[in-house]
C-alpha cells in the first residue's frame, strides 16, 4: 500500500516543513521493515508495528438542516515492544524514514523504564505466524457514493419526522469508516487490512405539557458497504418513529413495582455489553483497569462453576461472524479471530483475552480479543462480539405468558458499578404488557438489579428468526481512553419480576 | 531516557509554522471563507496496576482541520499528515464537500481578529517532562503503596499541545498548552481508595500527598463494609463527587435546547436554581484551573458569571443562537469555579466533624442522565464510602446507587467548604466545595 499522495508540494518556505515533511512519503512496507530492523537490533523479545490510515465520513443533520459534513484522515504508525518482559509503545503521525527509527528507539527506551518497575515478566501466549490480507466484503464503497444523495436522504428523513405535530427537534446522520492497516511483527506475521464500517440513524424529539422525549431509529454498525443504507427504508420508519416519540411523551408514567420484562434485541445489546461483556474481559478481572473502567465480579476462580444466569442463558463470543465489528480476521496481537463460550447453560466458562493475559489463567492461546482504536493507541483486551444464543419460542409466546410486564425497545439511560454487579437501565420505548398483550406506551421506566440475579431470572429466549445484531463503536476503556468496536446479537428475551422505578426524582 | 524531548522528537508546530501554513492554505483556497484548526500534541501516559507498569506510551499526533465555505455551503476535511501534498489534498476535499453540501441556514463566517487573554498555559517543566519523569512519579506512588502492603493502579501523564485557529477573516490565534495528570486507586483487600490531580504544571501534581490520601481511604475501608438500606441520607460529598453532579448539570445548559423547549432549564433563566449562597464563575486565569485563551471557533474565553446567588444567569450559546439573541461576547465555561458565602471551613473534615449521621462520598462513577426534563441522574459511589456518626467516620459502607437531580440536591445543602481542586475520570477540572446535603436519594446498594 502506498501512503504517497502524488500531489505537487507547496513551497512552505520554512525549515520545519522542508526538513521534516518535505519528502516523498515512503511505502508502508518499507517503513514497517525499517522499524522491525531497529527493534531486532535492539534485542527486543517481541515487537509489532501497525501502520494505519483511517478515513471517516460523518454527515449530521439537525432540525432540517445539514449541520456538518466532515471527512477525516487519521494516519500514523504505532510501535510496541516487549523488552526484558516489559512493554513500551511509541507512535507518531509523521511517516518518514527519519521518524521511524526515532520512535522505535523510543519504544525500546520506554520498555526499559517499564522493566525497572516490573514484578512479573510478561510472557506472550504462542500464536502461529500469519501472512494474510483482510478485505471487508461489500457491494458499494460508501466513499464513492455522491454526497448529494446522502444529504438529500437525511433532509428527507428530517422532513418526514417534522410532519408529525408536536415534534420540535430532529437529528439524522450517516457514518462510514475505512481502516487501511498493516500489521507486522518480529515473529514474522504480516497482515494487511482494508476494513469498512457503515451506519445510519435518526431521532425525533417531541414536546408535550412541558415535557420532552426522544425516540430513535438506527441501523446496526456493520462491516459492509453502503448497501446497508440503501437497503434500509428510513422514510418508512420516520413517520412511525415520530409518532411514537409523541406517544412516548404523552404516555402515563410507570407505576413502580416488580414487572416481567420482555427486552428487544437492540435493548439487550446494551444490557449484554455492560453486564456480561465487560465483566468477561480478563484484564479487568486481573486488575489492569482498577483505576478506571474497574474490575470484575467474574474472578478467575469462578470460571467453570459460577452460575451467571439461568439455563436459558448461553452467551457466545464470535469474532468470526461476517459483517460484525470485531470480525477483523486477526486482532492487534496478530491472533486469528475465534468463536468461544462465555456462558454455557447459565454457567460462566470463558473470558475475552489477549496474548499477555491468557497464560495467567493457564490458557495456551489467546482468544484474539486485543484491539487498539487507532495507530496511536496500544491494544488492550476488548469485549468480543458477544451474543445471546437463540431459544426456541416466538416473541408472541414470550409475551403471552406475561400478566403484568413491560416490553422495552432500544437504548436509554445506562449505568453500572465498577465490578459490574449493580446496574440500572432505561430504554428508548416502553409498552405495558397486560395479560399477554402489549397494550399502551408508558414513560420514565428504569429497571435495576444485580447482574447474576437478573440473568438468573431469564426464563425464555426467542428463536433465531428474531435474532438481530447491533454494534458499538464508543465503548470506553483504557487510559488514555480508547473506543472499542464490537457487535452484540440477540433474540428477544424474557426476565421475571425485575424491580422497576420511575425515571424521575421521587418527592 | 535522559535526552531532552526536543532532541527526541521533531519540534511541535510553532507559531511561525502555523502562520506559514495559514497563509499558504488561504492563498490556495477557492472558498469564500476558509478556516484552519491546528491541534498538534506530544504526550504520554505511564499506567500501572498490581504495583507494576502495564502500559507505557508516548505519542506524537498532529492534526489539521480545514473548513471551506461557498456562501452558506460548507465542508470540513481533516488530516494528520502535514506534508504539503496531503494538506493540499485536504483543502481540495473540504472544497469538494462544500460545493455539494446544501445551504446551511445557520452557517456563519469565521470570526474576525480578536484579542485574547495571555495565559500561562505552557509550563516548561511539563513540556520537558517525558517518560522518565512519568516513570519517576509512578514509582513514587507504587513504592508508597508497596510499603503499606497495598495494591496500586493508576496513571501519570503529561502532554504539550500546539493549538491554533485561523481564517481568511483575519482570525489568527495560537497557543501552547501543557497538561499533567495523576490518578491513583489503592486496593486494600476488597476496599479501594482514590485520588487524582490535573494541572498545567507537572510540579503541582502532589504525588506523595495524594497517594497518602488514597492509601488512607483504602485502609479505612479494609474492614468488612457495612450494608445500609437504600434510602434518603444526609451525605457529605467530597469535591470530586460534587464535580460529577455539577458537570452533569452544566452539560445541559445549551441555549438552543432552551429555545426549543427541550432543556431542563426552560423557565429557569434568571431564577434561583440552587442554594442562594452559591456562585458559579468562569475563571480562565485561575492558576489551578486548565484555562486557555481561545475556543476552537476562535472565540476569546472570558471571565463570566453563570450562577450568582443561586440564580441562573447564563446559557451556553453556539454562535448562531447567540446572534439570534444579540449576545456578544459569548460566555465560555472551560474554567468553572463554584464558591459560596460563609463556608464552614476549608477541609472535608470540617464537615465531618459537625455531622451527626451521614454518608461520606469520595467520588461518583458512571454518572448518566436518567430524565432530561427534571435532570434526574444516576451513578454509583466509588473508592471510599463511609458512615459518619457523631462527627467521626465509623465504618466503610457498601456502595450506593444514587437517583437524584442536582437541581434538587444543590437546594438541600446544609454546609460547604471553600472550593478545592476536583478532577475525575468523567469530568474536566473544576474548583468546587465539599458539601453536606440533606435527603440525598440512594435508590439501591451493590455488593461491595
pLDDT single digits (tens) A109-160 = 999 999 999 999 999 999 999 999 999 999 999 999 999 999 999 999 999 9
Per-residue pLDDT for B234 more than 60?
Answer: yes
* A504–chain B Cβ distance below 8 A for any pair: yes
Chain B positions touching A20 (Cβ under 8 A) are 10
Distance from CA of B44 to the nearest CA of A (A): 9
How many C-beta neighbours within 10 Å does residue A235 have?
12
Distance, in Å, from the CA atom of A382 to the CA atom of A486, rounded to the nearest integer, reads 8
- Distance from the Cα of A155 to chain B's closest Cα (Å) equals 9
CB B190 within 8 A of CB B79: no
CA dist B342 → A256, B246, B278, B415, B433 (Å): 41, 20, 10, 9, 12
For B151, the closest chain A residue by CA position comes to: A287
C-alpha cell read off for A298: 467474574
Q: What's the CA gap between A175 and A181, in Å, rounded?
A: 20
Cβ(A94)–Cβ(A21) below 8 Å: yes
- B357-371/B231-237 β-pairing: parallel
Mean pLDDT of B146-157: 98
**Pick among B26, B29, B83 to test the A interface (most A CBs inside 10 A):** B83
pTM beyond 0.80: the answer is yes
**Are the Cβ atoms of B21 and A12 closer than 8 angstroms?**
yes
Which A positions 221-280 lie with beta carbon below 8 A of chain B?
none
Catalogue the E-assigned strands of B71-216. Answer: 73-79, 151-167, 172-188, 191-199
The answer to whether A72 contacts B78, with C-beta atoms less than 8 Å apart, is yes
- Average pLDDT (A337-352) is 98
- Alpha carbons within 13 angstroms on the beta-carbon side of residue A60 total 9
Helix, strand, coil percentages, rounded to 5, for chain B: 25, 40, 35
Instruction: Sort out which chain B residues have CB atoms less than 8 A from A479's CB and list them.
Output: 45, 47, 55, 155, 157, 183
Cα-Cα end-to-end distance for chain A: 63
Q: A156 phi and psi, to 5 degrees? A: -70, -40
Q: Give the C-alpha separation, B136 to A437, whole Å.
A: 64
Cell digits of residue A53 = 490510515
Tens digits of residue pLDDT in A320-330: 999 999 999 99
Distance CA B66, CA A102 (A): 29
- The strand pairing partners of A431, in sequence order, are A407, A441
% of chain B beyond a pLDDT of 90: 95
Q: What is the per-residue pLDDT for B223?
A: 86
d(C-alpha B137, C-alpha A265), whole Å: 46
Using H for helix, E for strand and C for coil, what is the string for A141-193?
CHHHCCHHHHHHHHHHHHHHHHCCCCEEEEEEEEEEEEEEEEEEECCCCEEEE
What is the spatial order of strands in the sheet that A315-318 belongs to? A347-348, A339-344, A315-318, A386-388
CA angle B153–B159–B162, rounded 5-degree value: 160
Confidence of residue B10 (pLDDT cuts 50, 70, 90): low
Query: Which of B54, B96, B153 to probe by mutation at the A interface, max A CB count within 10 Å?
Result: B54
Task: Assign A507 a pLDDT band (cuts: 50, 70, 90).
Answer: low
Q: Could you give the CA distance from residue B415 to residue B177 in angstroms, rounded to a whole number?
A: 36
pLDDT digits (tens, 9 = 90+) for A359-392: 999 999 999 999 999 999 999 999 999 999 999 9
Supply the pLDDT for residue B11: 80
Cα B303 to Cα A52, B293, B314, B320, distances in angstroms: 42, 11, 12, 21
Half-sphere exposure of B154 (CA within 13 A, CB side): 35
Nearest CA in chain A to B375: A504
| Residues A253-304: tens digit of each pLDDT | 999 999 999 999 999 999 999 999 999 999 999 999 999 999 999 999 999 9
A67 in B contact zone (CB under 8 Å): yes
Q: How many C-alpha atoms does A51 have within 13 Å on its Cβ side?
A: 25
- Sign for the CA dihedral angle at B432, B435, B441, B444 comes to positive
The β-bridge partners of B364 are B381
Which residues lie across from A92 on neighbouring strands? A77, B60
Nearest CA in chain B to A501: B443
Task: Count other C-beta atoms under 10 Å from residue B279's C-beta.
Answer: 19
Task: Give yes or no for a contact between B336 and B253, defined as CB atoms under 8 angstroms apart.
Answer: no
Q: Cβ B86–A444 below 8 Å, yes or no?
A: no
In this complex, is the C-beta atom of A209 within 8 Å of any C-beta atom belonging to chain B?
no
pLDDT tens-digit readout, A239-248: 999 999 999 9
* Whole-number Å distance between alpha carbons of B125 and B130: 10
Pairing verdict, β B413-416 and A347-348: unpaired
pLDDT at residue A26 in the model = 64
**Could you tell me which chain B residue has the CA closest to the CA of A448?**
B444
| Residues forming beta bridges with residue A208, ordered by sequence position | A211
| Best CA proximity match to A487, nearest among A277, A297, A326, A250 | A326
Asked if A503 lies within 8 A of B104 by C-beta distance, the reply is: no
Could you identify the residue written with the cell 483486551? Answer: A381
Output the CA–CA distances (angstroms, integers) from residue A352 to A119, A342, A381, B49, in the order listed: 24, 8, 7, 19
Pairwise CA distance, residues A500 & A263, whole Å: 14
* Helix/strand/coil for B54: strand
Q: What is the mean pLDDT of residues B276-305?
A: 97
Is residue B253 a contact partner of residue B303, using CB atoms and an 8 Å limit?
no
Cell 460508501 belongs to A142
- pLDDT number for residue B148: 97
Whether B58 sits inside 8 A of A90 (CB atoms) is: yes
The pLDDT of residue B1 is above 50? no
Which are the contacts of B264, defined by CB distance < 8 A and separation ≥ 6?
B252, B372, B373, B374, B375, B407
Q: What is the C-alpha to C-alpha distance for residues A268 and A265, in angstroms, rounded to an integer? A: 5
**Contact between A402 and A389 (Cβ < 8 Å):** no
Cα–Cα distance between A170 and A62 in angstroms, integer? Answer: 6
Mean pLDDT for B182-200 is: 97
Please give the pLDDT value at position A320. 98
B437 interaction partners in chain A (CB closer than 8 Å): none
Q: Supply φ then ψ for residue B134, to 5 degrees.
A: -65, -40
Tell me what pLDDT residue B83 has.
87
Higher confidence at residue B24 or residue B353? B353
How large is the greatest C-alpha to C-alpha distance in chain A, in angstroms?
78
pLDDT higher than threshold 50 for residue B295: yes
Amino acid at each position: 500500500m502506498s501512503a504517497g499522495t502524488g500531489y505537487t508540494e507547496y513551497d512552505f518556505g520554512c525549515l520545519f516543513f522542508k526538513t521534516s515533511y518535505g519528502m516523498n512519503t515512503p511505502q508502508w512496507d518499507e517503513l514497517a521493515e525499517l522499524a522491525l530492523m531497529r527493534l531486532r537490533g535492539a534485542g527486543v523479545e517481541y515487537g509489532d508495528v501497525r501502520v494505519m490510515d483511517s478515513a471517516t465520513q460523518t454527515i449530521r443533520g439537525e432540525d432540517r438542516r445539514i449541520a456538518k459534513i466532515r471527512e477525516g484522515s487519521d494516519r500514523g504508525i504505532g510501535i510496541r515492544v516487549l523488552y526484558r518482559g516489559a512493554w513500551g509503545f511509541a507512535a507518531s503521525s509523521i511517516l518518514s524514514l527519519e521518524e521511524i527509527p526515532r520512535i522505535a528507539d523510543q519504544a525500546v527506551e520506554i520498555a526499559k523504564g517499564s522493566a525497572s518497575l516490573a514484578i512479573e515478566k510478561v510472557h506472550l501466549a504462542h500464536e502461529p505466524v500469519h501472512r494474510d490480507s483482510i478485505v471487508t466484503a461489500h457491494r458499494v464503497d460508501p466513499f464513492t457514493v455522491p454526497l448529494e444523495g446522502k444529504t438529500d436522504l437525511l433532509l428527507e428523513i428530517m422532513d418526514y419526522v417534522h410532519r408529525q405535530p408536536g415534534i420540535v427537534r430532529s437529528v439524522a446522520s450517516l457514518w462510514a469508516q475505512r481502516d487501511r492497516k498493516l500489521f507486522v511483527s518480529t515473529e514474522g506475521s504480516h497482515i494487511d487490512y482494508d476494513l469498512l464500517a457503515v451506519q445510519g440513524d435518526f431521532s425525533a424529539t417531541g414536546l408535550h405539557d412541558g415535557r420532552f422525549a426522544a425516540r430513535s431509529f438506527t441501523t446496526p454498525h456493520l462491516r459492509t458497504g453502503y448497501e446497508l443504507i440503501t437497503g434500509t427504508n428510513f422514510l418508512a420508519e420516520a413517520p412511525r418513529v415520530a409518532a411514537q416519540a409523541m406517544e412516548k411523551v404523552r404516555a402515563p408514567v410507570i407505576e413502580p413495582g416488580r414487572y416481567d420484562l420482555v427486552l428487544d434485541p437492540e435493548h439487550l445489546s446494551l444490557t449484554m455489553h455492560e453486564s456480561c461483556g465487560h465483566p468477561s474481559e480478563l484484564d479487568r478481572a486481573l486488575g489492569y483497569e482498577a483505576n478506571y473502567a474497574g474490575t470484575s465480579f467474574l474472578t478467575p476462580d469462578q470460571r467453570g462453576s459460577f452460575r451467571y444466569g439461568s439455563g436459558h442463558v448461553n452467551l457466545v463470543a464470535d469474532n468470526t461472524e461476517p459483517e460484525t465489528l470485531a470480525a477483523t480476521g486477526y486482532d492487534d496481537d496478530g491472533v486469528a479471530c475465534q468463536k468461544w463460550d462465555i456462558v454455557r447453560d447459565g454457567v460462566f466458562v470463558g473470558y475475552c483475552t489477549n496474548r499477555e493475559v491468557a497464560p495467567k489463567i493457564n490458557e495456551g492461546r489467546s482468544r484474539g480479543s486485543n484491539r487498539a482504536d487507532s495507530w496511536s493507541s496500544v491494544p488492550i483486551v476488548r469485549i468480543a462480539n458477544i451474543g445471546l444464543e437463540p431459544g426456541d419460542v416466538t416473541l408472541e409466546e414470550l409475551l403471552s405468558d406475561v400478566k403484568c410486564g413491560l416490553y422495552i425497545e432500544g437504548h436509554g439511560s445506562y449505568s453500572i458499578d465498577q465490578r459490574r454487579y449493580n446496574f440500572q437501565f432505561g430504554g428508548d420505548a416502553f409498552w405495558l404488557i397486560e395479560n399477554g398483550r402489549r397494550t399502551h406506551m408508558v414513560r420514565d421506566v428504569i429497571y435495576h438489579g444485580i447482574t447474576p440475579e437478573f440473568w438468573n431470572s431469564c426464563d425464555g429466549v426467542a428463536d433465531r428468526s428474531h435474532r438481530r445484531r447491533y454494534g458499538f463503536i464508543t465503548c470506553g476503556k483504557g487510559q488514555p481512553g480508547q473506543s472499542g468496536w464490537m457487535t452484540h446479537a440477540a433474540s428477544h428475551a424474557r426476565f421475571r419480576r425485575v424491580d422497576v422505578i420511575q425515571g424521575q426524582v421521587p418527592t | 531516557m535522559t535526552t531532552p524531548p526536543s532532541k527526541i522528537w521533531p519540534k511541535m508546530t510553532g507559531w511561525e509554522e502555523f502562520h506559514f501554513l495559514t497563509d499558504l492554505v488561504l492563498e490556495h483556497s477557492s472558498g469564500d471563507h476558509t478556516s484552519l484548526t491546528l491541534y498538534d500534541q506530544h504526550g504520554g501516559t505511564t499506567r500501572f496496576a498490581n504495583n507494576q507498569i502495564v502500559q507505557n506510551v508516548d505519542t506524537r499526533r498532529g492534526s489539521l482541520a480545514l473548513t471551506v465555505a461557498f456562501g452558506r455551503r460548507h465542508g470540513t476535511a481533516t488530516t494528520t499528515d502535514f506534508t504539503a501534498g496531503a494538506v493540499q489534498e485536504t483543502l481540495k476535499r473540504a472544497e469538494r464537500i462544500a460545493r455539494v453540501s446544501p445551504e446551511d441556514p445557520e452557517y456563519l463566517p469565521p470570526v474576525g481578529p480578536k484579542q485574547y487573554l495571555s495565559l500561562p498555559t505552557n509550563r516548561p517543566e511539563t513540556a520537558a517532562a517525558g517518560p522518565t519523569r512519568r516513570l519517576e512519579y509512578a514509582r513514587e506512588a507504587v513504592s508508597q503503596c508497596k510499603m503499606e502492603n497495598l495494591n496500586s493502579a493508576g496513571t501519570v501523564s503529561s502532554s504539550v499541545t500546539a493549538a491554533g485557529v485561523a481564517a481568511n477573516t483575519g482570525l489568527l490565534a495560537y497557543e501552547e498548552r501543557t497538561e499533567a495528570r495523576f490518578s491513583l486507586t489503592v486496593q486494600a483487600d476488597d476496599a479501594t481508595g482514590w485520588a487524582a490531580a490535573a494541572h498545567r504544571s507537572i510540579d503541582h501534581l502532589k504525588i506523595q500527598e495524594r497517594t497518602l490520601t488514597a492509601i488512607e481511604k483504602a485502609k479505612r475501608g479494609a474492614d468488612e463494609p457495612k450494608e445500609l438500606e437504600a434510602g434518603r441520607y444526609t451525605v457529605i460529598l467530597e469535591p470530586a463527587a460534587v464535580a460529577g453532579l455539577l458537570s452533569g448539570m452544566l452539560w445541559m445548559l445549551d441555549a438552543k435546547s432552551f429555545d426549543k423547549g427541550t432543556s431542563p432549564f426552560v423557565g429557569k433563566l434568571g431564577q434561583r436554581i440552587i442554594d442562594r449562597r452559591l456562585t458559579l464563575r468562569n475563571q480562565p486565569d485561575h492558576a489551578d484551573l486548565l484555562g486557555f485563551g481561545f475556543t476552537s471557533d476562535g472565540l476569546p474565553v472570558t471571565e463570566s458569571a453563570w450562577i450568582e446567588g443561586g440564580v441562573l444567569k447564563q446559557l451556553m450559546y453556539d454562535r448562531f443562537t447567540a446572534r439570534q439573541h444579540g449576545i456578544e461576547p459569548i460566555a465560555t465555561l472551560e474554567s468553572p469555579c463554584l464558591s459560596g458565602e460563609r463556608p464552614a471551613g476549608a477541609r472535608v473534615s470540617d464537615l465531618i466533624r459537625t455531622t451527626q449521621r451521614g454518608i461520606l462520598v469520595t467520588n461518583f462513577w458512571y454518572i448518566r442522565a436518567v430524565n432530561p426534563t427534571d435532570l434526574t441522574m444516576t451513578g454509583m459511589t466509588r473508592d471510599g464510602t463511609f458512615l459518619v456518626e457523631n462527627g467521626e467516620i465509623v465504618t466503610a459502607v457498601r456502595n450506593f446507587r444514587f437517583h437524584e437531580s442536582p437541581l434538587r440536591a444543590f437546594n438541600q445543602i446544609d454546609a460547604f467548604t471553600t472550593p478545592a481542586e476536583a478532577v475525575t475520570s468523567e469530568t474536566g477540572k473544576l474548583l468546587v466545595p465539599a458539601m453536606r446535603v440533606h435527603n440525598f436519594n440512594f435508590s439501591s446498594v451493590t455488593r461491595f
